[in-house]
Chain A
Amino acid sequence: MTTPLLAVQNLAVTFDTAEGTVHAVKGIDFTVERGRTLGIVGESGSGKSVTSLAVMGLHRGATVTGSAQLDGTELIGAPDDHLRTLRGRKMAMVFQDALTALHPYFTVGDQIAEAYRSHFGGTRKAAHARAVDVLGDVGIPEPARRAREHPHQFSGGMRQRAMIALALSCEPDLIIADEPTTALDVTVQAQVLDLLTRLQRERGLGLVLITHDLGVIARAADDVLVMYGGSAVEQADAEALFTTPRHPYTRGLLDSLPRLDAAPDTALRAIPGTPPSLLAPPAGCAFHPRCPAYAATSDTRCTGERPPLRTVAGGHRSACIHDEVTA
């Protein structure tokens, strides 16, 4: 077996705050293969963005333990000088809101060219030509002219395309896209998502797609990791997850989606309660205060130890004690 492009093992991230230690990510494992898309889904505070920043080495003020290997190279604990040579070059990030993630003072072309030159050197002219090329690749019309414009002169969708172009400019192996479509109109969302998945397939990239939107997962992901309260609660290929969700949280998420085949006037089913506090998380399974299975059984195992991920079917893992019962 070849080494996976990205192998994350027992990754944990904590922040020391005035109110105490926040366990943002509590030991998760996943791998991303070349040419495949891993969707990480979860609500705000589930630890999905922190995970991606920790992999990139952009977690400032956090303590990261565990392992994340990019193509066999350990990233966690690596000196920043070394990480810097990988960032942008081997692994690149697409951030959520391109308006704030791109620098307001510099032209889009300059920002892309800067990334290219910092890794490959060469002349300004060559780097600028490269910037124009990638802007064209992501479907920006008149790329030579748009490269000389500033981010605020772009529309939201074009700006996100420029952000993707920036990530692509150094031909990385891995792209981490953190809520890449969240700030966009629905129609533009679909275009940007299709662009990302097309580029990913064409170039055989590993793509980590972080989102709270199951629609995005359904459209683009090959494998899915569901996060809740800083832990992975379910892991499966996308098809299995949507057809046979195992964890009560995943099922709650799927149930809360509006369905075209539902009877008219059917109320949407929200998951009751609120996401857990990371400062004082519930004991045992973080989901138990909101879980219908716990409500029905009051099982003491739910409030004891945090249940680990267990394989429940080929390649399908879930972290629910009731899995045998409720499956």
Chain B
Amino acid sequence: MIGYLLRRLAAMAATLLVVCALTFAVFYLFPADPAVQFCGKDCSTERIELVRQQLGLADPLIVQFWHYVTGIFAGQTLGTGQYAVQCGFPCFGYSFQSAQPVWDLMMDRLPTSISLALGAAALWLLLGVGTGVVSALRRGTRLDRTLMVGTIGVAALPVYFTAMILLYLVVTVAGLLPYPRYIAFTEHPGQWISNLILPWITLALLNAAIYARMTRNSVIETMAEPYVRTARAKGLRERRVVGKHGLRPALTPVVTMLGMDLGGLLAGALITESLFSLPGIGKLFADSLNKSDQPVVMGVTLLASFFIVSSNLVVDLLYAWIDPRARLA
């Protein structure tokens, strides 16, 4: 088990290094000259050259990459002479736009993305898994058909459409809620919820529909397994047959999917955050990309990869914990 974990962590580190190298190559080789971006408009040629020296852009690419990677763990000194800046661990460089450390920018935005992701996930799990289980157990009834037609309808709604309709109806017409803005949970839990409820619903609806259909299929499949029949043959109550012997294996694939989806969401729900102007990681990414703020784009890409790779690991460990057959690896 320890060996397995170490191997997985090594593989995770390798994956992140490759992602790092690829993004580095993409953003430092191809687009506009970073020195020009950093310096801004109306920069003289000499000034741009100076910036290039200070940013270390004159070094060979591989040396720049080395500085970047080691800088993440050990920190690095950016610039020379009077302009030298000590960038401490974990150093992802400074934003070209705001000159703030990339790490600080990301950590400012992270609570918003985490709040959005966790709240939405809780909501769609409740809705999706609940609907799926009920539908599966009432398979073929009018209730089942109604629920499944409903999920197709909901799944067909684009996120921006849902968001606009919700904002218009709830905020503009009914005035039930304020226009969403992020308020930290620690600051005011009630307002944290009331401000995030619309983004949560927006993000949850689509996933709830997908999860409902997946859960339904999985439950139907599992309830036909011979071991469920054995549970009945033992004389167990139907509630126990369904709850313990049927649902546990049926929900295993749901847990897997949730892990993957959460990993992606923690890295920012780009569209939802933009629609509700929530200052999350996704919004940060979109804004930096627009302004060619390369250090921030790099940092967010790495952070996103980290979330996705680690959620994969968590899912695999969770899987082994749920299903003993997976413990052999």
Using CB atoms and an 8 Å cutoff, list the residues of chain A in contact with chain B: 56, 58, 80, 84-89, 92-93, 95, 97, 100-105, 114-115, 118-119, 150, 152, 166, 170
The segment from B61-69, B188-196, B226-234 that touches chain A is B226-234
Known: A101-B227, A102-B227, A105-B249. A80 touches B323 (CB 8 A): no
CB neighbours (8 Å) of A103 from chain B are: 227, 230-231, 245, 249
CB-contacts of B219-259 with A (<8 A): 225-227, 229-238, 240, 245, 248-249
Known: A95-B230, A101-B226. A87 touches B235 (CB 8 A): yes
Tell me, rounded to whole Å, the shortest Cβ–Cβ distance linking B57 to chain A.
Answer: 56
Total cross-chain contacts (CB, 8 A): 71
Distance in angstroms between the alpha carbons of A118 and B233 in the assembled complex: 12
CB neighbours (8 Å) of B234 from chain A are: 87-88, 92, 114-115, 118, 166
Tell me, rounded to whole Å, the shortest Cβ–Cβ distance linking A106 to chain B.
Answer: 8
Contact B249 A84 (CB under 8 A): no
- In this assembly, does B322 line the interface, its C-beta being within 8 Å of a C-beta of chain A? yes
Tell me, rounded to whole Å, the shortest Cβ–Cβ distance linking B318 to chain A.
Answer: 13
Distance in angstroms between the alpha carbons of A89 and B235 in the assembled complex: 7
- In this assembly, does B81 line the interface, its C-beta being within 8 Å of a C-beta of chain A? no
Contact A95 B235 (CB under 8 A): no
Contact A104 B324 (CB under 8 A): yes
Distance in angstroms between the alpha carbons of A114 and B324 in the assembled complex: 18
Contact A104 B233 (CB under 8 A): no
Distance in angstroms between the alpha carbons of A118 and B232 in the assembled complex: 11
- In this assembly, does B325 line the interface, its C-beta being within 8 Å of a C-beta of chain A? yes
Tell me, rounded to whole Å, the shortest Cβ–Cβ distance linking B238 to chain A.
Answer: 7
Task: Produce 1/0 per residue, B194-236, CB < 8 A to A.
Answer: 0000000000000000000000000000000111011111111
Decide if the interface of chain B is mainly helix, strand, loop or mixed: helix
CB neighbours (8 Å) of A88 from chain B are: 233-236
Q: Which residue of B lies closest to A90 (CB)?
A: B235
CB neighbours (8 Å) of A102 from chain B are: 227, 230
Task: Produce 1/0 per residue, B306-329, CB < 8 A to A.
Answer: 000000000000000011110000
Contact A58 B229 (CB under 8 A): yes
Q: Which residue of A lies closest to B223 (CB)?
A: A60
Contact A100 B227 (CB under 8 A): yes
Contact B233 A58 (CB under 8 A): yes
Contact B227 A104 (CB under 8 A): yes
Distance in angstroms between the alpha carbons of A105 and B225 in the assembled complex: 13
CB neighbours (8 Å) of A92 from chain B are: 233-234
Tell me, rounded to whole Å, the shortest Cβ–Cβ distance linking B160 to chain A.
Answer: 41
Q: Which residue of B lies closest to A88 (CB)?
A: B235
CB neighbours (8 Å) of B240 from chain A are: 118
CB neighbours (8 Å) of B324 from chain A are: 104-105, 150, 152
Distance in angstroms between the alpha carbons of A92 and B234 in the assembled complex: 7
Distance in angstroms between the alpha carbons of A239 and B175 in the assembled complex: 87
**Contacts A/B (CB < 8 Å), 17 sampled:** A56-B233, A58-B233, A92-B234, A93-B230, A93-B233, A95-B229, A97-B226, A101-B227, A102-B230, A103-B227, A103-B245, A104-B323, A105-B249, A115-B234, A118-B236, A166-B230, A166-B234
CB neighbours (8 Å) of A87 from chain B are: 232-235
Tell me, rounded to whole Å, the shortest Cβ–Cβ distance linking A124 to chain B.
Answer: 14
Q: Which residue of A lies closest to B224 (CB)?
A: A60
For A80, give its contact among B225, B230, B238, B249 (CB under 8 Å).
B238
Q: Which residue of B lies closest to A149 (CB)?
A: B324
Q: How many residues of B contact A (CB 8 A)?
A: 21
Q: Which residue of A lies closest to B225 (CB)?
A: A100
Known: A103-B245, A105-B249, A105-B323. A118 touches B227 (CB 8 A): no
Contact B237 A118 (CB under 8 A): yes
CB neighbours (8 Å) of A100 from chain B are: 225-227
For B226, give its contact among A80, A95, A105 (CB under 8 Å).
A95
Task: Produce 1/0 per residue, B1-43, CB < 8 A to A.
Answer: 0000000000000000000000000000000000000000000
CB neighbours (8 Å) of A86 from chain B are: 235
For B325, give its contact among A84, A97, A150, A170 (CB under 8 Å).
A150
Known: A105-B248, A150-B324. A118 touches B235 (CB 8 A): yes
Distance in angstroms between the alpha carbons of A48 and B54 in the assembled complex: 85
Tell me, rounded to whole Å, the shortest Cβ–Cβ distance linking A241 to chain B.
Answer: 29
Distance in angstroms between the alpha carbons of A119 and B232 in the assembled complex: 13
Tell me, rounded to whole Å, the shortest Cβ–Cβ distance linking A178 to chain B.
Answer: 10
Contact A101 B230 (CB under 8 A): yes
CB neighbours (8 Å) of A80 from chain B are: 238
Tell me, rounded to whole Å, the shortest Cβ–Cβ distance linking B64 to chain A.
Answer: 51
Distance in angstroms between the alpha carbons of A104 and B245 in the assembled complex: 10
Distance in angstroms between the alpha carbons of A138 and B85 in the assembled complex: 76
CB neighbours (8 Å) of A166 from chain B are: 230, 234
Q: Which residue of A lies closest to B233 (CB)?
A: A93
Distance in angstroms between the alpha carbons of A47 and B229 in the assembled complex: 18
CB neighbours (8 Å) of B322 from chain A are: 105
Contact A84 B235 (CB under 8 A): yes
Distance in angstroms between the alpha carbons of A87 and B232 in the assembled complex: 8
Q: Which residue of B lies closest to A53 (CB)?
A: B229
In this complex, which of B227, B322, B324 has the most chain A Cβ atoms within 10 angstroms of its Cβ? Answer: B227
Distance in angstroms between the alpha carbons of A85 and B237 in the assembled complex: 9
CB neighbours (8 Å) of A95 from chain B are: 226, 229-230, 233
Q: Which residue of A lies closest to B323 (CB)?
A: A105
Tell me, rounded to whole Å, the shortest Cβ–Cβ distance linking A31 to chain B.
Answer: 22
Q: Which residue of B lies closest to A172 (CB)?
A: B235
Q: Which residue of B lies closest to A167 (CB)?
A: B233
Closest 5 interchain pairs by CB?
Answer: A88-B235, A87-B235, A115-B234, A88-B234, A100-B226
In this complex, which of B225, B236, B322 has the most chain A Cβ atoms within 10 angstroms of its Cβ? Answer: B236
Tell me, rounded to whole Å, the shortest Cβ–Cβ distance linking B254 to chain A.
Answer: 15
Contact B325 A152 (CB under 8 A): yes
20 new A-B contacts at CB < 8 Å, known A84-B237, A115-B236, A118-B235: A58-B233, A85-B235, A86-B235, A87-B233, A89-B235, A95-B226, A95-B229, A95-B230, A97-B226, A101-B226, A101-B229, A101-B230, A102-B227, A103-B231, A103-B249, A104-B325, A118-B236, A152-B325, A166-B234, A170-B235
